[in-house]
Structure 1
Amino acid sequence: MRGVPLSRSSESPAGLPEHPQQAGRAGVPVQSRGTAPHEAQTRTPVPEPVSASTCANAHSRGLGRFNGWRRDTALSVLLECFGSHRWALRMAAHRPYPDLGALLAASDEAGYDLSPADIAEALAAESAPCLHHAAPRAAHLALRAAHAAYESRFGHVFVICLDGLPPSQHVDQVLAAIRTRLAHDPDEERALTAEEMRRLARGRIIDLVTEAGSAPGPFRAAGQPVG
């Protein structure tokens, strides 16, 4: 089913729908990396507001646990944040981190120092944003066609950081971004992809530290979805 074309009347020259709402995608959440299909709907409700002090305490506890993990445990979880072994090894080796800001700064610095081969390794561990299985068929076809067009041009999966956007906007944002980025030359897209990967890593690290700090008992890092 991957790459199935849409009807001519609804396609742009690049083969992507001109009007996202016509595909029945309004309000359909995109499933991100590490989210099982049945979990997509459970994340829709808006959580109760959490105070800044509560978040800070959770981050402090989570960072403490992260700093104290065995090396193999830390590497396993870091690879879920960014699939480059060079990046994960560097991040694990530089522990302990004094605060979350230092951890995020180290993540950015390590990401900027990666070679094209390291980025390619991390991209190979990514999966394209997908929809909940109950989404309209037209929405699945539109998203698959968009991803197929992108991968055919650039040879790797499309990645984008959607932090800060409500789930109802995710699908339209992904399709609009793919349409724009298909016009990039390979060097321009390579640089933008690396930046999106660094942004994804930051968000996943924040989630990681938050989850570790909120766990009532010993946090089981291995196998925990991040991001």
Structure 2
Amino acid sequence: MPVQTRTAPDAPPKPSEPPVPSALDRFNTAGHDNAVHTLLTCLPSLRWAHRIAAHRPYPDLAALLAAADEAAYDLTREDLTEALTSEPLPALPEDTYSAAHTALRAAHAAYEARFGHVFVICLDGLPAAETLDHVLEGIRSRLTNDPEDEREVAAEQLRRLAKGRLRSTLRGPGF
């Protein structure tokens, strides 16, 4: 007699786990105050941060970066002053020798005396070994700028910094 085999009925599908929201999804759904706080770590301008947060949700990172860039172009003189006041100095690699720190402090002091705000420069993608030379060269060359021209250069550097920081923030584990 042939052996009949019975197949077990298909087991019910296991409930799938909900997808882990991306950092952009978490940003888009965060409370307004949390989103503003995150944005202020990228560019310390309240008006800029509120504007970006108010236009959520963003469909993708490119749309967010484009909105951030556009909002940064619209910074008023007061907004730019606010951002520059809160902006930290560019960091140097830890193994930078002390004479370089002295030269950099002197260059920063000369820059601040001339323009009334900290020196800002975007160092994204620059090898750490080139940071000191790039910062010192940037300060030296920009010290010759007219104050209004330098505000435009500083604003452009802030825009670049903000975009890089947003990319890093939204690629990280969350906020």
Q: Shorter-chain TM-score category?
A: 0.7 to 0.9
- Cα distance, 1:94 vs. partner? 0.3
TM-score, normalised to structure 1's length?
0.66
Moved over 3 A (4+): 130-135
- Cα distance, 1:133 vs. partner? 5.6
- Cα distance, 1:145 vs. partner? 0.7
CA displacement, residues 168-213 of structure 1 (integer Å, 9 cap, x when unaligned): 10110000010000000011101111000000000000001001xx
For 1:153, the equivalent position in structure 2 comes to: 114
Q: How does 1:59-208 map to 2 (within 5 A)?
A: 61-131=22-92, 135-208=96-169
* Equivalent position amino acid for 1:166 in 2: P
User: Could you say if the C-alpha distance between residues 130 and 204 of structure 1 is closer, same or farther in structure 2, counting changes exceeding 3 Å?
Assistant: closer
Q: Which whole-Å CA distance do the structure 2 matches of 1:180 and 1:137 have between them?
A: 23
Greater relative contact order (CA < 8 Å, ≥ 6 in sequence):
1
- Cα distance, 1:132 vs. partner? 5.1
* Equivalent position amino acid for 1:117 in 2: E
Measured on the aligned residues, the alpha-carbon RMSD in Å equals 1.5
Contact kept, 8 Å, 1:181 with 1:189, in 2: the verdict is yes
User: Could you say if the C-alpha distance between residues 73 and 122 of structure 1 is closer, same or farther in structure 2, counting changes exceeding 3 Å?
Assistant: same
CA displacement, residues 87-107 of structure 1 (integer Å, 9 cap, x when unaligned): 000000000000111000000
User: Could you say if the C-alpha distance between residues 99 and 130 of structure 1 is closer, same or farther in structure 2, counting changes exceeding 3 Å?
Assistant: closer
- Cα distance, 1:130 vs. partner? 3.7
Percent identity between matched residues is 56
TM-score, normalised to structure 2's length?
0.85
**How many pairs were matched up?**
156
* Equivalent position amino acid for 2:123 in 1: L
Contact kept, 8 Å, 2:93 with 2:131, in 1: the verdict is no
Contact kept, 8 Å, 1:130 with 1:143, in 2: the verdict is no
Q: Which whole-Å CA distance do the structure 2 matches of 1:191 and 1:135 have between them?
A: 30
- Cα distance, 1:140 vs. partner? 1.1
Secondary structure at 1:131's aligned position in 2?
coil
Q: Which has the larger radius of gyration?
A: 2
CA displacement, residues 127-155 of structure 1 (integer Å, 9 cap, x when unaligned): 11243565322011011011011001000
Q: Which whole-Å CA distance do the structure 1 matches of 2:77 and 2:59 have between them?
A: 30
